[in-house]
Structure 1
């Protein structure tokens, strides 16, 4: 049996401002750590700046967290005839798969990320509704059997809704 072919595939990155904010915070934290550890001894800091320990510490303390965070800030949506899967990261750290047979309805919507869900990313409201978004303010809202909604953010929501509305194809025997 062959795997079902994807009828929709979309990869989204978070807005550049998110990456800039993370980079700025990393630089500020690194500067604060350097200042704290050397107590503003600029001469000692400059003398130590070319050592192997300093370079490795700087890379491990600032570079690795930045790379890990940036690698997570990537959302992929894939729909087949009978499933829709959303995951975050190049190596999927978080994955959610929904069987289309369980979806009651599917609607293209415009939403307010900050007001409706508190921002972008994997979000859950108090009423049980969930959102998987990376950028923008458009997506597809799925109504699930328990009455809750799942919003999947997309830069191409009409295409995603069309792909999810397709009837499943009969399996070849």
Structure 2
């Protein structure tokens, strides 16, 4: 990616209250079961898991799963070279779409559940790929090679304006 400050930068996280309520509920049940079974020696449930399995369940669902959702984030930048994006921890480095590869783009309102089955890195009908963390606003990017990508955004108009500014510099 070229040097210099980005014209547009947005970092998004999973901040939906309902998601965090579910994660906290699952973690709470895992920890409650672990304390009951491992500390107080009272079997958890009608068919309790062995102690080692309860410890693994607590580690995975009580600690690692919520931690995963706490660190996951989507970063999108528009720089002189084009659009750079990273959906950490799935992408350890930025992926770049050169501005010259963008045929057109548009700010939009989309339906995450019906078009893509939810949020995250998703595939949709018609060959779309989506990178979203929440909400229903974004930018549809049509590439010259036929690929179509949707980026979720809290400021889709600013995103589009930044890409158009970069494309204007190159013509």
TM-score category (smaller protein): 0.7 to 0.9
1:158 aligns with 2:140: no
Give ranges in structure 1 of 5+ residues lacking alignment: 46-55
- Tell me how far apart the structure 2 counterparts of residues 146 and 43 of structure 1 sit (CA, whole Å): 61
Distance in 1 of aligned mates of 2:98 and 2:35: 51
Residue deviations 1:87-141 (CA, integer Å, cap 9, x gap):
223xx43253211110100111110110111111111124321111111111110
Contiguous gaps of at least 5 residues in structure 2:
43-54
1:10 aligns with 2:10: yes
Evaluate the alpha carbon distance shift between residue 143 and residue 17 of structure 1 in structure 2; reply closer, same or farther with a 3 A threshold. same
Q: Equivalent residue for 1:27?
A: 28
**In structure 2, C-alpha distance between the alignment counterparts of 1:113 and 1:163, rounded to whole Å:** 24
What is the correspondence of 1:131-142 to structure 2 with a 5 Å cutoff?
131-142=130-141
C-alpha spacing 1:118/1:128, structure 2 compared with 1 (3 Å): same
CA distance in 2, matches of 1:83, 1:16: 33
SS in 1 for 2:106: strand
* Cα-Cα RMSD: 3.0
Q: Counterpart of 1:167 in 2: which secondary structure?
A: helix
Equivalent in the alignment of 1:70: 70
Match of 2:52 in 1: none
Q: Give me the whole-angstrom Cα distance separating, in 1, the residues matched to 2:116 and 2:155.
A: 20
Measure the CA separation in 1 of the matches of 2:30 and 2:57.
11
SS in 2 for 1:104: strand
Would you say how many aligned residue pairs link Structure 1 and Structure 2? 154
Query: Where do residues 41-120 of structure 1 align in structure 2 (5 Å cutoff)?
Result: 43-45=40-42, 60-61=59-60, 62-72=62-72, 74-89=73-88, 92-94=89-91, 95-120=94-119
Q: TM-score, normalised by structure 2?
A: 0.75
Q: Tell me, what secondary structure is at the counterpart of 1:44?
A: coil
Q: Which residue of 1 aligns with 2:128?
A: 129
C-alpha separation between the residues in 1 aligned to 2:70 and 2:108?
A: 28
Q: Kindly tell me: are residues 20 and 97 of structure 1, through their superposed partners in 2, closer, same or farther at Cα, counting changes over 3 Å?
A: farther
In 2, Cα distance between equivalents of 1:18 and 1:100 = 35
| 1:136 partner SS | coil
Q: What does residue 148 of structure 1 align with?
A: 147
